[in-house]
Amino acid sequence: MDLLVFLAMLAATPDKAPPSENAVVTQPVINMYSRATTDADVVSQAIFSTNVVILERDSAWLKIRTPDDYTGWVQSAGLVKEPAYAQSGRVARVVALFASVYRENNITKHQPIVTVPFDSRFEVLHEPQDPERRWVEVRLPDGASGWVQSGDVSLAPESPMTIPELIEWSKRFIGLPYLWGGTSTYGYDCSGFMQALYRRLGYSLPRDAGPQADWPGLKPVDKTDLAPGDLLYFGSSPDKITHTGMYIGNGQFINATAYLQPIVQICNLGDEHWTQLLVAQRRLK
């Protein structure tokens, strides 16, 4: 092959980034696409402060891998390349459905710098020192500093919930929008919501419903033996699972669904729609 032709082929190939190159999401939520274009389908999302690995570059796009081993293309403007963020030291974790960051410790002088979803993280610069202990000063992934209200975050290490605690806690999400590919309080899809819930138990489920049902940390359970906290899987067959929810007892389950009303809601297993689609039940081993 002619050397000039070979060099031209190399130039036309998307750049490969070192596998260990870390980046941090700076937008509240960033869409992950199947291809490097907004005309492609959204396969998932990454929320503010998520540390991701850059796998590939293509113009203004980056192919990334999230901590749950999911890959997709994102617009590079939504990330900043820097070492691991909010992985050590003092970290504030967002426990409210949303938290706003302000340029000063005042909510009236200026609009928020950014409003981030539940489970976002911040590096803490200074813990509350005002008389009301209302404000925490934080460093953002881009190096800027800001202030978040202490009632929206927790500085304590996260402890796993019990299943009864999780069921009660899960109801705070009722009414949030259903969003295909969604992984945040701005909008969840079914499996993204189950991921968020089971993280509170200390488990990292796969991203999609089918792989969740096959995950080795779960075991099959009979429909007649369902217990609160079990995961339910729906589809046309056990090999074609398209939806999931969590059983909460009394024939009910909580899920993010587009059925009838596209929101996080409690549904009834006795509903004919769900009875016909239920194909698998799983419980933690």
Is a pLDDT exceeding 60 seen at residue 17? no
pLDDT tens for 210-233 read 999 999 999 999 999 999 999 999
Which residues neighbour 140 within 8 Å (Cβ) at sequence distance 6 or greater? 26, 101, 113, 114, 122, 146
Average pLDDT over residues 27-35: 98
Asked whether 173 and 147 are in contact (CB, 8 A), the reply is no
Residue 169 to residue 161: CA distance in whole angstroms: 9
Is a pLDDT exceeding 90 seen at residue 19? no
Q: Which domains does the chain have, with CATH numbers?
A: 15-81 (2.30.30.40), 91-154 (2.30.30.40), 163-284 (3.90.1720.10)
Is a pLDDT exceeding 60 seen at residue 6? no
Is a pLDDT exceeding 50 seen at residue 57? yes
Query: Quick one: pLDDT at residue 226?
Result: 98
**E-assigned strands of 76-166?**
79-81, 91-94, 98-102, 114-117, 121-126, 135-139, 145-149, 153-154
Average pLDDT over residues 51-78: 96
Is a pLDDT exceeding 80 seen at residue 8? no
Is a pLDDT exceeding 80 seen at residue 4? no
pLDDT tens for 147-204 read 999 999 999 999 999 999 999 999 999 999 999 999 999 999 999 999 999 999 999 9
More confident residue, 214 or 10: 214
Query: Quick one: pLDDT at residue 28?
Result: 98
Pairing of strands 278-284, 231-237: antiparallel
Query: Quick one: pLDDT at residue 132?
Result: 77
2 confidence band (pLDDT: 50, 70, 90): low
Is a pLDDT exceeding 50 seen at residue 70? yes
